[in-house]
């Protein structure tokens, strides 16, 4: 949201933000919660669950740049092409881990070279993940709950399990916990459902936003902007 306000104040470039998530795009998709007014950032969102199309990406960026002047794109670190290969080459491999170059830097260079538009990359990484200023009250409360339930399970003699959190169906946000065998969780990933990704693959749907919004525990701060419609 802050980067979006900065880009809007000086709309002369494209900012490509790289979010964590090698194979699952939940964190990348959650950036959509920053939007409140029309044309708020992020303007484009690309998830690893969909094959990345370079030509469509450049077309989308160019169209929005011509309209807005400044564009914010959020991409997953794990973007892959139609062949299932990373859009950036691996730097080196060790054991079963493969390290790749920065997707955001690659795409920024692509925008500059092929569109002739100023672009820059941002990779919050650990700074975003560890920031106490960005703590969600809901996340904090659920983390404490999960820890409490884990201690109870351990004291009761349960082993080889972890605490799972499930949402209770209904309009009001409620959760319940359960114990899940580690073998059902370890080395498995739950990816974004198709209904949460738009047809073009460059954004999320309103269904995802409605599902995700309760997790941040309230509205984000509003930035006053004299370009917004209510000032006209």
Question: What does the pLDDT look like over 41-50, one tens digit per residue?
Answer: 999 999 999 9
The set of residues, in sequence order, having a beta carbon less than 8 Å from that of 226 and lying 6+ positions away, is none
Give CA torsion, residues 21, 87, 34, 220, to 10 deg.
30
Mean of the per-residue pLDDT values for the chain?
Answer: 93
d(Cα 33, Cα 84) in Å, to the nearest integer?
28
Nearest to 105 by CA among 206, 167, 165, 18: 18
- Fill in the DSSP letter of residue 134: G
Instruction: Using pLDDT thresholds of 50, 70 and 90, give the confidence band for residue 231.
Output: very low
Q: Note the pLDDT tens digit of each residue in 108-136.
A: 999 999 999 999 999 998 888 888 888 89
d(Cα 105, Cα 121) in Å, to the nearest integer?
5
How many Å is the Cα radius of gyration of the chain? 20
Average pLDDT over residues 212-228: 83
Q: Is the pLDDT of residue 204 over 70?
A: yes
| CA-based torsion, 173, 174, 177, 178: positive or negative | negative
Q: Which of 62-66, 156-160, 216-220 has the lowest mean pLDDT?
A: 216-220
């Amino acid at each position: 949201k802050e980067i979006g306000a900065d880009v809007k104040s000086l709309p002369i470039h494209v900012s490509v933000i790289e979010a964590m998530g090698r194979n699952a795009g939940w964190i990348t998709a959650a950036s959509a919660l920053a939007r409140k007014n029309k044309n708020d950032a992020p303007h484009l969102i690309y998830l690893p669950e969909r094959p990345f199309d370079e030509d469509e990406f450049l077309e989308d960026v160019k169209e929005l740049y011509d309209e807005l002047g400044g564009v914010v794109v959020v991409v997953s670190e794990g973007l892959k092409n139609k062949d299932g290969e990373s859009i950036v080459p691996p730097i080196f491999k060790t054991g079963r881990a493969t390290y790749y170059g920065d997707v955001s830097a690659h795409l920024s260079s692509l925008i500059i070279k092929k569109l002739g538009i100023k672009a820059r990359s941002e990779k919050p990484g650990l700074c975003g993940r560890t920031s106490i200023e960005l703590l969600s009250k809901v996340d904090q409360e659920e983390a404490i709950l999960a820890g409490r339930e884990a201690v109870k399970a351990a004291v009761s003699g349960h082993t080889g399990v972890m605490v799972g959190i499930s949402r209770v169906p209904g309009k009001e946000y409620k959760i319940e916990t359960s114990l899940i065998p580690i073998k059902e969780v370890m080395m498995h990933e739950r990816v974004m459902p198709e209904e949460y990704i738009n047809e073009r693959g460059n954004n999320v749907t309103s269904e995802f936003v409605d599902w995700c919004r309760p997790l941040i525990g309230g509205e984000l701060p509003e930035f006053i902007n004299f370009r917004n419609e209510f000032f006209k």
